[in-house]
Amino acid sequence: MSLLSVSDLRGGYGPVRVLHGLGFEVNAGEIVVILGANGSGKTSTIRAISGMLQATGSVRLHDEEILGKNPEAIARRRVAHVPQGRGTFPELTVEENLRVGAFSRKDSAVDEDIDRWLTTFPRLRERRTQLAGSMSGGEQQMLAISRALMMNPVLLLLDEPSLGLAPLVTQELFQKLAQLNRETYIAMLIVEQNANLALKTATRGYVLEAGEIVATGTSEELASNDEVRKAYLGMA
Amino acid sequence: MTLFLQQLMNGIGNGVIYASVALALVLIYRTTGVLNFAQGEMALFSTYITWKLTDWGVGIVAAIFISMLIAFAMGALVELVLIRPVEKKPPFVVLIVTIGMFLALNSITQLVFGTDEKQLPSAFGDHSWSVGDVRITGEFVGLICVLALTCTLLWILLQKTKLGLGLRAVASNPESARLVGISSGTMLMIGWAISASLGALGGAMYVPTTPALTAGSLQAVLVYAFAAAALGGFDSPVGAVVGGLIVGVAEALAIEYIEPLHDITLLVPFLLIGVVLLYRPTGLFGRNIVERV
């Protein structure tokens, strides 16, 4: 049984349909990437999973249907969504941002976890008392991911984490994600345009075009797929 | 000099009241982005409840506490029934709803409690002490203590509690707040509830300093509170307090020393709003968030 199983997902914004019945799976401990160009429905897919976008079809987490539940309820099932453009709380300090991430937790290990993620991302420790809004894009992305980790997630949804970041920062970010996955075994679903890095990090992937899955395979298979190479890796 | 000090104290006394209503405005603005034009009339209704309780023989202090509790529930109800349905509509729609509430609450108050003047006793009795030629009233001391206590409790709530963190998170980024499992609806409801409570407190402090409680009692206060919030910055609780005190003192001194303003003191807050918006649109303590990408 897979951790997340999406099938026949359809949805959009008012009369505009964006998702045309797509399906995919994420297994426990995996990093799965969904590649797609602008407007192919990447963000909509991820928003439908976290309850931010009305959709039909089926989204099952641990075999429980979560489609139609509100975002708060899905977050409490420990699906952590890092939205496009980071979605940090600019008026709150770095530490407060992390505490907000643990808002629905009832256990007492919150302080321990804050320390843990500040150790994983040392830059954040330096800026612990600084307002999130005053940090650089890369730092904010690290903060957004740490905040998501504070939810003790079973699944991390990352919406174009590389957007707006310098290439070196992006590289560091993906290395961190791979390291986190090895250490914590948290499953990740990443939607990305940056196919090169994403495929190096992920175990498997899907290609999304105009709201439909058009190709799937292991990262190696996709990286050697001619269509993918042409469209996303800038190779003929 | 004596006259100046006396006016200064009058001004601070009024300023404390403007500050507490301004705090209520700021609290709702920070959590929901709504300018609540009905803040004054919500407080009016609560003040009438306080009066009704004293009329039934309840002590004034107990009456204020009970009416604050009732206001808390009413504030939550207002958010749930009137504001939530238009929450996702443009800000103008919400603004119109609060103006509608302003008119409706004023009429309902008159319908329920009648249109005759009422007398609300002061919570601080009528003690006073003479220091030199200046008379310090128990009311003045009491008002300042209440404001100080209110500010301290609000600060602790917002900065030191988990609930406060949730309120600030929703104010800062409602969408991300939902994504970490915070129910933004509940937080907004609590914001309105606290704010209505503050209004009830402000009303019960203010009315005893005026000749009588009438349906128009809190309309001028709302204008002064808006001036205070604009002066201090609509997103800053500290600004609301400082703004309230400045507006109160400016008003009292203007009455005393600027002859033509004697009968039109309401001009003072409008002038202050105008000047602030011209030279510092974010207010004295308002933050201009610079976001880096």
| Domain-wise residue ranges, chain A | 4-78+153-232, 89-151
| Residue A117 and residue A152 in contact, taking contact as beta carbons nearer than 8 Å | no
- Average pLDDT for residues A69-95, to the nearest whole number? 92
Please indicate whether, in this complex, the C-beta atoms of B172 and A90 are within 8 angstroms of each other: yes
Contact assessment for residue A42 and residue A32, using Cβ atoms and an 8 Å cutoff: no
What does the H/E/C string look like for A178-196?
Answer: HHHHHHHCCEEEEEECCHH
CB contact under 8 A, B178 and A96: no
Token reading at A36: 């797609």
pLDDT at residue B236, as a whole number: 83
Contact A96 B165 (CB under 8 A): yes
The answer to whether the Cβ–Cβ distance between B182 and A99 falls below 8 Å is no
Contact assignment for A72 to B178 by CB distance below 8 Å? yes
State residue A6's pLDDT score. 95
- Dihedral sign, Cα of residue B24, residue B27, residue B32, residue B33: positive
Say whether B177 and A91 touch across the interface (CB within 8 A): no
pLDDT > 70: percent of chain A: 98
List residues of B whose CB lies inside 8 A of any A CB: 162, 165-166, 168-169, 171-173, 175-184, 287, 289-293
Residues on chain A bordering chain B, Cβ-to-Cβ distance under 8 angstroms: 50, 52, 70-72, 75-76, 80-81, 83, 87-92, 96, 99-101, 103-104, 133-137, 147-148, 151, 164
First to last CA, chain B: 55
Q: What are residue B115's phi and psi, to 5 degrees?
A: -105, 0
pLDDT score for B2: 80
Task: For residue B52, give the nearest of B216, B213, B202, B222 by alpha carbon.
Answer: B213
* Statement: residue A236 has pLDDT above 60: no
B290/A96 CB distance under 8 A: no
Tell me what ipTM this predicted complex has: 0.89
Contact A72 B182 (CB under 8 A): yes
* Angle made by CA atoms A143, A145, A147, in degrees to the nearest 5: 65
What DSSP element (H or E) covers A217? strand A212-218
Looking from the CA of B208 toward its CB, the CA atoms found within 13 Å total 23
Q: Are A160 and A14 in contact (CB under 8 A)?
A: no
Task: Note down pLDDT in tens along chain B; length 293 residues.
Answer: 788 888 888 888 889 889 989 988 988 888 777 889 999 999 999 999 999 999 999 999 999 999 999 999 999 999 999 999 988 888 889 899 999 999 999 999 999 999 999 999 988 888 888 888 888 888 889 888 998 999 899 899 989 999 999 998 988 888 899 999 999 889 989 999 999 999 999 999 999 988 899 998 898 889 899 999 988 888 888 888 999 999 999 888 888 888 777 777 778 888 888 888 888 888 888 766 554 44
Residues 6+ positions from B258 with CB-CB distance below 8 Å: none
Q: Which two tokens stand for residue B54?
A: 């004293």
pLDDT at B78: 94
Coil, helix or strand at residue B237: helix
Cα(B204)–Cα(A29) distance, integer angstroms: 60
* Chain-chain contact of B179 with A133 (C-beta, under 8 angstroms): no
Within 10 A of A179 (CB to CB), how many other CB atoms are there?
11
* pLDDT at residue A120 is higher than 80: yes
Query: Residue B180: which of A135, A147, A164 has the nearest Cβ?
Result: A147
Domain ranges of chain B: 2-217
How confident is the model at residue B292, as a pLDDT?
A: 46
Q: Which residues of A touch B177 (CB under 8 A)?
A: 89, 100
The DSSP element (H or E) to which B249 belongs, if any, is helix B237-257
Q: Which residues pair with A158 in a beta bridge?
A: A82, A190
C-alpha distance from B149 to closest chain A C-alpha (Å)? 24
- B168: closest chain A residue by CA: A92
Closest CA to A153 of A129, A189, A127, A179: A189
3-state secondary structure of A218: strand
Residues A92/A100, Cβ–Cβ less than 8 Å: yes
Nearest to A83 among B169, B175, B184 (CB): B175
Per the CB < 8 A criterion, the answer to whether A58 and A8 are in contact is: yes
| Angle CA B39–B42–B46, to nearest 5 | 135
Arithmetic mean of pLDDT, A21-30: 94
Q: In whole angstroms, how far apart are CA B69 and each of B30, B46, B104, B118?
A: 22, 10, 21, 22
Mutate one of B158, B173, B187, B282 to test the A interface: name it (highest A CB count within 10 A): B173
Minimal Cα distance from B293: which residue of A?
A: A137
User: Residue B46 in contact with residue B68, Cβ under 8 Å?
Assistant: yes
Nearest chain A Cα to B169, which residue?
Answer: A89
Interaxial angle between packed helices B2-32 and B39-55, expressed in degrees from 0 to 180 and rounded to the nearest 10 = 110
Question: With helix as H, strand as E and coil as C, how does A88-136 read?
Answer: CCCCCEHHHHHHHHCCCCCCCCHHHHHHHHHHHCHHHHHCCCCEHHHCC
Note the pLDDT tens digit of each residue in A146-156: 999 999 999 99
pLDDT, residue A235, reads 61
Test the A interface: residue of B167, B168, B180 with most A CBs within 10 Å: B180
Query: Is the confidence at residue A141, as pLDDT, over 50?
Result: yes
C-alpha A68/C-alpha A80 separation (Å) is 17
Instruction: Answer yes or no: do B173 and A87 touch at CB < 8 A.
Output: yes
Q: Kindly list the residues from chain B whose CB atom is less than 8 angstroms away from the CB atom of residue A137.
A: 292-293
Q: What is the dihedral of CA B181, B184, B190, B191, to 10 degrees?
A: 130
Scanning every residue of chain B, which has its alpha carbon at the shortest distance from the alpha carbon of A132?
B291
Fold of A4-78+153-232: Rossmann fold (3.40.50)
Measured distance CA(B284)–CA(B233) in Å, rounded:
6
Residue A104: count other Cβ atoms within 10 Å of its Cβ. Answer: 16
